[in-house]
Amino acid sequence: MTEITHLTIQTNGINMHIAEAGEGPLVLLVHGFPELWYSWRHQLPALAEAGYHAVAPDVRGYGDTDKPHEIEAYAMREMVADYIGVLDALGEDKAVIVGHDWGAMMAWTTAALHPERFRAVAGLSVPYLPRGPVPPLQMMDAMFKDKFFYILYFQEPGVAEAEFEADVRRSLKLFIWGASGEARGVSGFATAMANKARDAKLFDNVPDVEGVPPWMTEADLDYYAGKFEKGGFRGPLNRYRCMDIDHEQLPEMQNREINLPALFVYGEADGALSFSPMDPMKQLVPNLKLVSFPGVGHWTQQERPKETNEALIDFLNGL
């Protein structure tokens, strides 16, 4: 199997750790929350063997990449500059950018703002959501009223950090299970996550579950836990605290089209799609291909690595 190598590059004023494999056209893989470059462990060798230079960074705030303290340092404008800087640091004029979860929103936005630097864009799990007419937190407040919603819970600095960091391995395990395709088969899990009061905590009443989902190993969970025990959750959570900042800073994203070749891959059992509609994307991304996986939850490329690799390579080879 192709070897994955690691190095640190400078981009947009920070040191960024990247994992890479292969040679050829650049494919930049951007992870989501609460993940690492490691969530692309199945894609890096497959893309390399298909003739591509696959690069997966630890996003700012994560893993072995720098972790600025300020909330504003995690605004989408900074994230976009990070990835343009990766292309520059690697001496590449163009790339294909692929993202999952928050990484998908970063990929969509980066491609929308800098189409001259990208041959194509792919998002996993989270569709392209253009800037709405009102700030997103205001909209979520109105939608969820007195009900718990994790993004609103994440807003107060220090609160979610304390809950996640009290037992990092358990927190990650519950969060991963909760958003997986298998969660519905775990007694009481979905109910505990869904029916909570606004002032509840994320893991209140969530039952402990044995082991890890079948697509993951205990060693995989250990790798994630080790990095988050060292780096904490402030940086990753700060991204959620920038949603209204992004709305203010990026008015040019209002109904902005993406005319590049585009791919959206999603699991049909992904709860994120219940509050991230696909219709706006279908209107604003004319060169869009959709691929769906029945029974798959939120962790698309980890839950179905073989099928995800096939979808990505087919898309890349068709450019």
For 28, the token pair is 């930049």
Which run of H or E residues covers position 107?
Answer: helix 102-113
Question: Which residues, including other chains, have CB under 8 Å from residue 264's CB and lie 6 or more apart?
Answer: 122, 123, 124, 127, 128, 278, 281, 285, 288, 289, 290, 291
Cβ of 255: how many Cβ atoms within 10 Å? 11
C-alpha to C-alpha distance for 200 and 215, rounded to whole angstroms: 30
Contact 246, 74 (CB under 8 A): no
167 classed as catalytic: no
State the catalytic residue, choosing from 58, 66, 82, 101.
Answer: 101
64 classed as catalytic: no
C-alpha to C-alpha distance for 129 and 94, rounded to whole angstroms: 24
Which run of H or E residues covers position 228?
Answer: helix 218-231
Contact 145, 194 (CB under 8 A): no
Say which residue the tokens 């407040």 belong to.
141
**Residues marked as catalytic:** 101, 298
